[in-house]
Amino acid sequence: MKLLNKLLVSAAFAGLFATSNFAAEETSKFVAISKGVKSIDMNLNGEKFTIMRNQTAGNKISSLYDTTFRGAPQPISLAKGLETLGELEFIEYMKKAQTDENIAIIDSRKPGWFDRLRIPGAVNVPFTNFDEKDTAIEMMEDEMGVVQNDDGTLDFSNAKTLALYCNGYWCGQTPGMVKNAKFALLKMGYPVEKIKYYRGGMQAWTSLGFTVVGSGK
């Protein structure tokens, strides 16, 4: 009987604790990015915007990302020494990129996806450019700080730190640009420590209700 009473008291306390936590979440004044942070104003690549989570109760994920039948999940790590980012780390790179020209926020998807829905401030560098050597080098020179020497070799001494994303956990477009395409970044000699992979991509970003731009269709 004593053991039963102890179990009942423990269960009651556990229920009270769970209810208190739930109540604390429900009575929050806003849907936060992080503790106490509702929004972040940015000016990135000529775009002025505010990053925040959708504040509307009952808001649903975009229909572009509400299905689960898509391809196999990508590895959490694309290569040894290559950092994988979550949302908060990705936002930190966005913040830094506003004043640091050595950081590039890159959407690696095809232009159609980019036009439909994207993270504001990102530059579109489609992964398909890395199927051919000439276009791969052109993209690295134009957007990534790489220099092609007169003898054809590539100089990565001023290569930018890249924060890359695509459609989500199952999407192969960023992995294609990084390592799988014929002239992928790593195959061309891009420093692995300067490549950052936001694996959750648009699916994770929209699931948290973060600011997006585009037609949504």
Taking Cα atoms as reference points, which of 153, 157, 165 lies closest to residue 194?
Answer: 157
Write down the pTM of the prediction: 0.86
Give the Cα separation of 83 and 67 in Å (integer): 27
What pLDDT does 28 receive? 62
Q: Is 211 left (phi over 0), alpha (psi -120 to 50) or beta?
A: beta
What pLDDT does 47 receive? 96
| Total count of residues recorded for the chain | 217
What pLDDT does 217 receive? 78
What pLDDT does 7 receive? 42
What does each of the 217 residues of the chain score in pLDDT, given as a tens digit? 544 444 444 444 344 334 333 333 444 689 999 999 999 999 999 999 999 999 999 999 999 999 999 999 999 999 999 999 999 999 999 999 999 999 999 999 999 999 999 999 999 999 999 999 999 999 999 999 999 999 999 999 999 999 999 999 999 999 999 999 999 999 999 999 999 999 999 999 999 999 999 988 7
Strand order in the sheet with 103-107: 83-85, 195-198, 161-165, 103-107, 123-124
What is the amino acid identity at position 27? T
What single string gives the DSSP state of each residue in 15-53? HHHHHHHHHHHHT-SS--SBTTB-EEEEEETTEEEEEEB
Torsion of CA 27, 32, 37, 42, to 10 degrees: -150
